[in-house]
Amino acid sequence: MSLIHRLTSQSAQFDAELRTLLAYEASEDASIEHACAEILHRIQHEGDTALLDYTQRFDRLAVEQASALEISKEELFASLDSLPADQRKALEQAAERVRRYHEHQRTETWTYTEADGTVLGQQVTPLDRVGLYVPGGKAAYPSSVLMNAIP
């Protein structure tokens, strides 16, 4: 028995097979949404205490302060320098492609004034610092870091 299910668009059953493949279990979606809402609620109300608890639970990393989760520039550059040349080149090429793509999405600040004098618009403000969650384990993809951090 093959582990890969192949679909053929010329098959008479293609539409049904595709719908089955893409169907989501509604109860599974609800449980995921509930778990995410619970995590966000705890982080909003308990701050770093909840963050450190989840870091221990999901990443199996015990730290005393959230600042211990920050990676210094020195550590980042040391990690980069330790990569094999072919991997580094591949990551740098991927990063450049992601950067070029997102440059087309840049949004500018703009305003306009309605006839009654009301000023409307959008203020674009860069962030000083951000945190990213990048899944690890069986699905640890460098592309997840690139596509979240670069934009």
Q: Walk along the chain (151 residues) and give the pLDDT tens digit of each residue.
A: 556 778 888 889 888 888 887 776 665 677 888 998 999 999 999 999 999 999 999 888 999 999 998 889 999 999 999 999 999 999 999 999 999 999 999 889 999 999 999 999 999 998 888 878 777 767 778 888 999 889 8
Cross-strand bridge partners of residue 112: 120
pLDDT at 40: 92
Q: What is the pLDDT of residue 139?
A: 72
Nearest to 52 by CA among 33, 34, 65: 65
pLDDT at 3: 67
Dihedral pair phi/psi, residue 112, rounded to 5°: -150, 160
pTM of the model: 0.59
Which pLDDT does position 26 carry in this prediction? 61
Q: How far apart are CA 22 and CA 122, in angstroms?
A: 37
Q: What does the pLDDT read at residue 5?
A: 75
Q: What is the pLDDT of residue 19?
A: 82
pLDDT for position 101: 96
